[in-house]
Structure 1
Amino acid sequence: MIAVRPGPPLGGTVSVDGSKNAALPLLAAAAALCRPVKLCNVPANTDVQIMLALLNQAGWHVAHPADDPATAVVLPAEDRGKPFALAEAAHIRASYYLVPALLARHGEARLPWPGGCRIGARGMELHFTVYEAFGDRTAVGDGGYRVEAAPPCTGTVSLVLPFRSRGATVAAVLRTVIASRPLRLGEPNLSPEVLWVLDAVKAVGWDVRASERLLSLAPPLSGQGETAVWEVPGDKVEAGTLACAIAATGGTARVEGVHGRDVGPLIAALHRLGIPADVEDGALAVHAQDVAPTGRGLRAIASLSPGGLDADFEPPLMALALGVPGTHLFADAINPGRHSNLLPQLTRLGADIEEISPTECRLTGPQRLTGAGVEATDIRTGSALMVAGLTARGVTTLGGLDQLRRGHADLPGKLRALGADVCEVSP
């Protein structure tokens, strides 16, 4: 477990790892491309390591240069036999991104139901709708699901999503890549993670046109070329968590390696709380010693709309808002089980939070927290509890580090680099 103690304001400079949420679909896209892909800035968190292992088991070679473990070269093996049972796919949500690559290589995909954080059901119905639009056959069972590829076909695939699902949007993009067919997708998800996948397929020749209402793709005119080189962007959620930790302690620091377009909604939320923050010279800079509380209160509503607040920003913002004057509203209907994980743990630290509904809550700050034993019941709950622990009187001990490491290779180490009193202790 980890012990967290309050201390002086955080300061200095730290760099984030590559983004877990971007690396997972990019790795699946590399496999779907059926040509060598060099992917740089691959993070070392547990979920990404599981995805790399799944690719190896399913018929791809994944190699790492000896002098650069953060680079992965993905290329298909010559043997096209049936893949081994991909049991580990049940441990991560992003295993469903592998379906198009498996269809391209084996003609079918057999996977267990996706797992990951216990923050709500991992519905696959919209994914199945995407595959059926391409003529694929789907079947479900108690232990998992099966998708069988349709015979090769031509013509544009047109589909309108009933809501802006990130997973279904990526599934549609990767399925059209392996089919080499044009796609017209209405009401797409255009979160930064999807945009990075679109940038990657555009870099290998696809014509990509994206608007809030319509995403269209057309295949390249020429065949495969040289090895594609893609880069995983810096982790916007890790950057946001570190920014909230800096702000909670009244510090001034820079978080390098993050792209401005990825953290815009997070910066807007900090401004709403009166905390100066911006992207300067490729880094997220927080100047919380100049904080001027507005007292207006924060409305942190998770949204799938373009430019909306990513649900993963909500937990660290909640931990930060506990110390900021005003009445603050938080809502996350995207992950309906998240508040049931996070709120009881914050309550153990003395937080007074009104639960309006299972997905909506309200709190008034500032509040004084007291250290206690808490548990990282999912990735983002764990990171938010570390932020809260930096301002709680006494010692906060955080268990469940396996959950935290699924999304962050070493978040405690990054906090220590900024001057936080964080150390690993024996239970």
Structure 2
Amino acid sequence: MKKLYIRGGRPLSGTVRVSGSKNAVLPIIAACLLSTSPCTLEDIPNLADVDTICLVLEHLGAQVKRDGTTLVIIPPQKPKTEAPYEFVRQMRASFLVIGPLLARTGLASISLPGGCAIGSRPVDLHLKGLHMLGARIEHGYGSIRAEAGKYGLRGNRIYLDFPSVGATENIIMAASLAEGQTVIENAAEEPEVVDLANFICAMGGKIKGAGTKVVKITGVRELKGVTHTVIPDRIEAGTYLVAGAITGGNILVENVIADHVKPVLAKLLEMGIDVYEEQDGLRVIGRKDYRAVDVKTMPYPGFPTDMQPQMMALMTCARGTSIITETVFENRFMHISELKRMGARIKTVGRNAVIQGPVALSGASVKATDLRAGAALVLAGLCAEGNTEVSNIYHIERGYENLLGKLQSLGADIWGQA
């Protein structure tokens, strides 16, 4: 679709099921290159980013077969070693193939990644980790070439200056087939990292400590394909919880792991929003009078930066002054100017955003500047008076499966333009 149109003011109610995690499935698909036999992945969301990473694997020689939410990947016996720019520029997660390619073939050539323009996300920590495993890194014009060398990759102790999710995942994948033991210190603790480690362990890998700051990987000679179900998407779950709150609705969010959304739940409860854990999921019951809160984005288990724009939309409905401090990405306030077009009162000072509320948002023509910013504008449109037009919907389609259909099923007055 090109645009979404929303007629706001309707409380949402009903049940919505969360899809498989985008941020978990992308590295898991890349990790299928480590296997010598077919892998079957379950609960795979129908997303543009999933299509892109599958195209990357097909270019590298893999066969990819999809049937509904099931994905079967038959890895090549001898993968190609170069990932083309035309795919990598679309999505930075494509850079995750460098680790498994290096482990399987001893050689990988890949363009520098693209993706959402939410700030600088360099791959230096990825390359530092691979270098510590024995790879020789060469920088070309907009590309990277990594070669394992004569003796292949060898385990080492690696300290990450920042707990980068992508770097942690790339190092885990490369180290899984390296000789000896690798220890990653200050590793990312996100659930998506744990899901990747569980997948590799099911294939025969040896990984301990995933989900903590220290991860130990003992290399094995071979990994074999398995069937694996991807974890639910915690950011999608958080977005629907906010949708229930911002519209004063009553929504049951199914297929959600409550522990994965604890930071979001804590802030919703602090605002005075009722959230209950039920047998089938989490129920959010909204109201019209919320308390202002402060949020500081942090690596997991802190408040996720991917939920910051959605929380900002909700804060416009809260009584008092809310402050958001963005510590992860320096350019993740681009949605503020669009929210202000709808009547939001927001000021920025460096990496801090000060939100005054409550305000009665009004429908307007706004533009999604990135994936989560687009979600925030849709949420704002759901509670605004009048009609809201959201353009650049391709950003949203990268990370939310069937957002239009799911919101319609909850009673939202929303439609799209092809």
Q: TM-score, length-normalised on structure 1? A: 0.92
Partner of 2:318: 324
| 2-structure distance, mates of 1:390, 1:224 | 47
Partner in structure 2 of residue 60 of structure 1:
62
Alpha-carbon distance between aligned partners in 2 of 1:406 and 1:314, rounded to the nearest angstrom: 18
Contact kept, 8 Å, 1:311 with 1:334, in 2: the verdict is: yes
> Are 1:299 and 2:294 counterparts?
yes
Residues 273 and 285 in structure 2, CA contact (< 8 A), matched pair in contact too: yes
Decide whether aligned partners of structure 1 residues 45 and 89 sit closer, same or farther in structure 2, where only a CA change above 3 A counts. Answer: same
Q: Quick one: structure 1 residues 210 and 43, their matched pair in 2 at CA, closer, same or farther if it must change by over 3 Å? A: closer
The residue identity in structure 1 corresponding to 2:53 is: M
TM alignment of 1:71-110, pairs within 5 A? 71-80=70-79, 83=82, 85-110=84-109
Picking from 48, 64, 74, the partner of 2:50 is 48
Task: Tell whether the 8 Å contact from 1:57 to 1:86 is kept in structure 2 after alignment.
Answer: no
Superposed CA deviations along residues 281-332 of structure 1, whole A, max 9, x for unmatched, are 241211224x774x3x32221101x411111011111101110113111122
Find the aligned partners of 2:4 and 2:342 in 1 and give their Cα distance. 15
Alignment of 1:363 with 2:355, yes or no, is yes
1:32–1:100: 8 Å Cα contact kept in structure 2? no
Does 1:414 pair with 2:406?
Answer: yes
Which whole-Å CA distance do the structure 1 matches of 2:137 and 2:10 have between them? 56
Aligned pairs, how many? 415
2:391 pairs with 1:391: no
| Contact 1:58/1:86, CA 8 A, preserved across alignment | no
Q: Which residue of 2 aligns with 1:70?
A: 69
What is the alpha-carbon distance in structure 2 between the residues aligned to residue 61 and residue 86 of structure 1?
20
- The 1:151–1:14 alpha-carbon spacing in structure 2 relative to 1, beyond 3 Å, is same
Q: 3-state SS of the aligned residue for 1:8?
A: coil
Give CA deviations for 1:183-218 in whole Å, capped at 9, x if unaligned.
211111101111111222232342412464421122
State whether residues 248 and 323 of structure 1, in contact with CA within 8 Å, keep that contact through their aligned partners in structure 2: yes
CA separation in 2, counterparts of 1:375 and 1:346?
10
Counterpart for residue 25 of structure 2: 23
CA shift in 2, pair 1:250/1:235, >3 Å = same
Amino acid at match of 2:307: F
Q: Which runs of 4+ in 1 moved over 6 A?
A: none
Counterpart residue type for residue 35 of structure 1: S
SS of match in other structure, 1:338:
coil
Shift of 1:140: 1.6
Distance in structure 1 (CA, Å) of the matches to 2:405 and 2:343: 26
Amino acid at match of 2:260: D
Match of 2:262 in 1: 264
Tell me, yes or no, if the aligned pair for 2:35 and 2:222 is still in contact at 8 Å.
no
Mapped partners of 1:36, 1:183: distance in 2: 26
CA change 1:76–1:316 in 2 (3 A) is: same
**Letter of the 2:389 counterpart:** T
2:367 to 368, 371, 375: 375
Identity %: 32
Cα distance change, pair 280–152 in 1 and its aligned pair in 2 (3 A) = farther
Separation (CA, whole Å) in 2 of partners of 1:84 and 1:163: 26
Structure 1 gaps of 5+ residues are none
Q: Give the drift of 1:275.
A: 0.6
Shift of 1:360: 1.6
Q: Deviation at 1:167?
A: 1.1
Q: Which residue of 1 aligns with 2:161?
A: 162
Q: Note closer, same or farther for the CA distance 1:246–1:103 as it changes in structure 2 (3 Å cut).
A: same
C-alpha distance 326-223 of structure 1, shift in aligned 2 (>3 A): same
| Matches of 2:54 and 2:80, distance apart in 1 | 19
Query: Are the equivalent residues in 1 in contact too, given 2:64–2:73 (CA < 8 A)?
Result: yes
Alpha carbons of structure 1 residues 279 and 86: separation in structure 2 relative to 1, 3 Å: farther
- Give the SS at the match of 2:273: coil
Q: How far did residue 163 of structure 1 move?
A: 1.4
> Hey, what's the Cα distance between the residues in 2 that align with 1:277 and 1:81?
49
For 2:4 and 2:303, how far apart are their aligned partners in 1?
29
